[in-house]
Amino acid sequence: MNSLSEQIRQLCKEKNAIIMAHYYQRPEIQDVADFVGDSLALAQVAAKTNADIIVMCGVHFMAETAKILCPDKKVLIPEPAAGCSLADSCKAEDLAAWKAEHPDHLVVSYVNTSAAVKALTDVVVTSSNALKIVKQLPTDKPILFGPDQNLGGYINSMTGRKMDLWNGGCHVHARFSVEAILSLKQQYPDTKVLAHPECKAIVLQNADVIGSTQALLNYAKTHPEQKRFIVATESGILHEMQKSCPDVEFIPVPPEMTERIGMCCAQPVANQCGCNECEYMRMNTLQKLYNCLRDEINEIFVAEAVAKDAIKPIQRMLEMS
């Protein structure tokens, strides 16, 4: 009997399917995938694939984005309940009300949003391209930015713009312990801190490199003189970092103690290992991936009227990236 991974690869061949995985997926899912990347790369690859079926190993908004870009393809997700606390923090009706209060503002939305929110947006951004895209927007136009307040604050600090920020955040990135970073920096004085822009401002102020998962990975790959990094993003990225840089030590920043109980490794237990995982990302398993591809279940649909409006700001993003 072939291993589950081998059977998944066989199904991909038979069905002309492509498996795409985010860096926060379980290691065994990253290893079986055709493509592993950050949110921007997943959208870019989805837009170009010739596969008939896309299995999106990530969270719901990523599968939705792929479906909007490829309406004629079958898009599946191993676990349909894999959501995102950040996307959930901004409902379309609330964004519509905010827009109505600011009719002259451009709306810039992070890709971590529902299709309905994207449909109300002028341009979508990811953590890879947010800075680059906001810099291209007319300076005389005020901007509503949502839903990630930390990313929005970081862009404001880098561009001098005064975007109005939605009060949302990612519960995983918001809970990194700055005390742990300071103590790790003291223990390893010449070690660079790599941080995702969804982290709190105080964490970003103590970081040496700020960027998307792909950007942080690229930094580690292109700085072989560094033998150790302190990493403040979801710990799934450590799998690819370690594969790419086997001789380097990657130290995951732990969550704040008060938040750690019940949050580790998606298990309802006290955290002993110090990792910081997104329980939504970890809902996908190899077995669920196999079942979903074999039975072609958990298909993602986006209402035509919503998709028609949501595709415009996504395409604008791809053009401006």
Residues that bind ligand 13P (CB under 6 A): 38-39, 112, 126-128, 170, 198, 212-213
Q: Which one among 278, 286, 302, 311 touches ligand SF4, defined by CB under 6 A?
A: 278
Q: Does 250 bind ligand SF4 (CB under 6 A)?
A: no
Distance CA 47, CA 39 (A): 13
Shorter beta-carbon distance to ligand SF4: residue 22 or 73: 22
Q: In angstroms, give the least distance from the CB of 278 to ligand SF4.
A: 3
Tell me how crowded residue 1 is: count the other CB atoms within 10 A of its CB: 5
**Identified binder of ligand SF4 from the candidate list 166, 219, 229, 280, rule CB under 6 A:** 280
Are 36 and 17 a contacting pair, CB within 8 Å?
Answer: no
Cα–Cα distance for residue pair 202/237, rounded to 1 Å: 22
Cβ 214 to ligand 13P, closest distance in Å? Answer: 6
Q: Which does 53 bind (CB under 5 to 8 A by kind): ligand SF4, ligand 13P, none?
A: none
| Beta carbon nearer to ligand 13P, 11 or 33 | 33
Of 51, 90, 45, the closest CA to residue 66 belongs to 45
**Sequence-separated (6 or more) residues with CB below 8 Å from residue 12:** 18, 19, 34, 293
Site for ligand SF4 in 79-138 (CB under 6 A): 84-86, 112
- List 170, 193, 207, 306, residue binding ligand SF4 (CB under 6 A): 170
CA torsion angle for 92, 124, 278, 300 (degrees, to 10)?
Answer: 70
C-alpha atoms less than 13 angstroms from C-alpha of 172 in its C-beta half-sphere: 26
Residue 234 interacts with ligand SF4 (CB under 6 A)?
A: yes
CA 174 – CA 171 distance, rounded (Å):
5
Per CB under 6 A, 40 contacts ligand SF4:
no
The residue ranges that bind ligand SF4 (CB under 6 A) are: 24, 59, 84-86, 112, 170-172, 234, 278, 280-281
